[in-house]
Structure 1
Amino acid sequence: MTRPSSPVLRAAVGVAVASLALSACGSNTLSSGGSTSSGPAPTATKNAALAAKLPAKIKSSGEIVIGTDATYAPNEFLATDGKTVQGMDVDLFNAVAQEFGVKARFVPANFDSIILGVDSGKYDMGISSFSITDERKKQVNMVSYYTAGTQWIAAKGNPKKVNPDDACGLNVAVQKATTQLDDVTARSKKCTSAGKKPINIIVEVGQDKVTADVTSGKADAMLADSPVGLYAVKQTGGELEAVGSIYDSAPYGYVIPKSETEFGNALVEALKQLESSGGYKQALAKWGIQTGAINNFALNP
């Protein structure tokens, strides 16, 4: 996904928050094409049977072009150089690509443009913490590889007494085109149906800006995927805290064209092999989010 321009954070925000904001640098350039990040070149095809199931375009080019929203730390975000895409999704799929004997090239894009980009052939895949939903499965194939829920985050000490089940009248930040936007919109409707003030929903293009809205005081709270929200708490050096419990856990899925069922099944097999070898959990452990590991990888679960 593409990030907006780097937010201006309040002076009280520590060095850790500054680092988080830097991960969003270069957003304006990313929206016009931006930089890409490629996985390491494989030394050899590790599984000829899997490689045989690659789509012809990937076989020919030797690389998988992947659309990603590089604003979603620790899953996918920009390194301090403002160009290189890094994160759990990058490390894990680089290992998957090695199973096929090809490279993975991550291309930053707006989150809500990725599935369309896969449909149009602009990207071979979309990997960007996509929760698997029935609506998305109508458009594309999805291969499950991780599970995450939703976590609410507020300023340290929760000065506005944010309660996810009664956030009426509060300012709540959320990223555009996410399941969390659907969530908070439904919660706001419940508020108005009960005769209360609606939630003032602040919608941002990138998750980095969502986090900055809370640290700056523009928003009273935010909601995001659990690994992302908890990583923000850690990276902001005590400026934020988790509110309430994780809920609505669901699998993440790799996005591929609807026509590429064989490739989807091959991705399932590659993930199973990585799970058996220990490489799967190793990629998650590097970012401290191995609690979301699964072993029931599947095409369109």
Structure 2
Amino acid sequence: MQASKISAGMLIVGAVLQFMSPAFADQLADIRSRGEVTCGVYSNVEPFSYPNAQTRQLEGMDVDLCNAVAKQLGVKAKLEPLAVEARIPQLKLGRVDLVVANLAYTKTRATQIAFSDSYYSTKEVLVVKKADAGKKLTDFAGQKISAADGSTSAQSIPLSIKDGQAVTFHDTSSAFLALEQDKVKGFVTNQMTARKIAKQVEGTDGAVAIAAEPMLIEPIAVGLRQNEPAMLAAVNKALASMEQSGEMSAIFNKWLGPKTPYGLTRTDKVTPINQLKFTPVS
């Protein structure tokens, strides 16, 4: 009787484990099985991912990167538009497979998700009114500074400006509007967005300048779920292949290069984050 109970119990456990096994399947194998990888991208942040004015389809640097990585994995890309602050939660919840949304490495994020090798580094910079163009970061001590909510731009404020008061907004446009309306003394964003904004308002009463000292230097990478070594290795292999073929530089130049409004020159190569010299934010 006892043996029968044990045998029945083992059968039940075996059946449960068999039923549960698909939930613990290797992510890369699952993606290749369904032939599609879901990329979390920005919903409306130029030049990374934003709707085309005519087609309303998402386009941008991160869209191209997602499509290129998907091609390297041998699957199609499915784009999932996300707000800035939703990037990490949606990845952790499994609603997206990857986050390709100008995602900067931070110590806190690294405890929650995995990061691919970095494919370029960016700067967080302080945008100020033209009258404050010659000031140093120390001159803004104790001042209100705006940034997008959930961004490393916001995190950089107390790190780079003594007693700096971070005032956050849902998106970059709203954060810049606060500077225009003199609600804050400065606005922090990445250098690409800062350059574009400065050009757009150049020669107007609302002209702005970019402070000479950067707030932060940040490596940008693809965000992945933790404990998925095969997926991480595959994405890093894809990035390395894109670097070697020149595709990575071509995508960068198309959206951020010298002939774009951002006028940047790509000097970084695809590199493991632990081999980079930088001070990560919390």
Structure 1 length-normalised TM? 0.70
* 2:100–2:222 contact (8 Å) kept in structure 1: yes
Counterpart for residue 291 of structure 1: 265
The SS at the match of 2:184 is coil
1:148 to 119, 122, 131: 122
Counterpart for residue 50 of structure 1: none
Letter in 2 for 1:277: S
| Aligned CA-pair RMSD | 2.7
Counterpart for residue 171 of structure 2: 206
Counterpart for residue 156 of structure 2: 183
2:73 to 97, 100, 119: 100
The SS at the match of 1:75 is coil
Counterpart Cα distance in 1 of 2:31 and 2:103: 22
Letter in 1 for 2:34: S
Q: Percent identity?
A: 21
Q: Report the CA distance between 1:56 and its aligned residue.
A: 3.0
Judged with a 3 Å threshold, the aligned counterparts in structure 2 of structure 1 residues 108 and 224 are, in CA distance, closer, same or farther, namely same
Q: Report the CA distance between 1:183 and its aligned residue.
A: 1.9
Q: Report the CA distance between 1:91 and its aligned residue.
A: 1.7
* 2:27–2:228 contact (8 Å) kept in structure 1: no
The SS at the match of 2:102 is coil
The SS at the match of 1:244 is coil
Please say if 1:244 is aligned against 2:212: yes
Q: Give per-residue Cα distances to partners, 1:118-152, cap 9 Å, x unaligned.
A: 11111111121111122212111101222112111
Counterpart for residue 224 of structure 1: 189
Letter in 2 for 1:256: L
2:223 to 241, 244, 255: 255
Judged with a 3 Å threshold, the aligned counterparts in structure 2 of structure 1 residues 261 and 299 are, in CA distance, closer, same or farther, namely farther
The SS at the match of 2:214 is strand
Structure 2 stretches of 5 or more lacking a match? 1-25, 258-263, 276-282
Aligned residues: 240
Judged with a 3 Å threshold, the aligned counterparts in structure 2 of structure 1 residues 74 and 234 are, in CA distance, closer, same or farther, namely farther
Q: Report the CA distance between 1:173 and its aligned residue.
A: 1.1
Counterpart Cα distance in 2 of 1:81 and 1:215: 29
Counterpart for residue 136 of structure 1: 109
* 2:41–2:63 contact (8 Å) kept in structure 1: no
Counterpart for residue 38 of structure 1: none
Counterpart Cα distance in 2 of 1:158 and 1:60: 58
Counterpart for residue 244 of structure 2: 276
Structure 2 length-normalised TM? 0.74
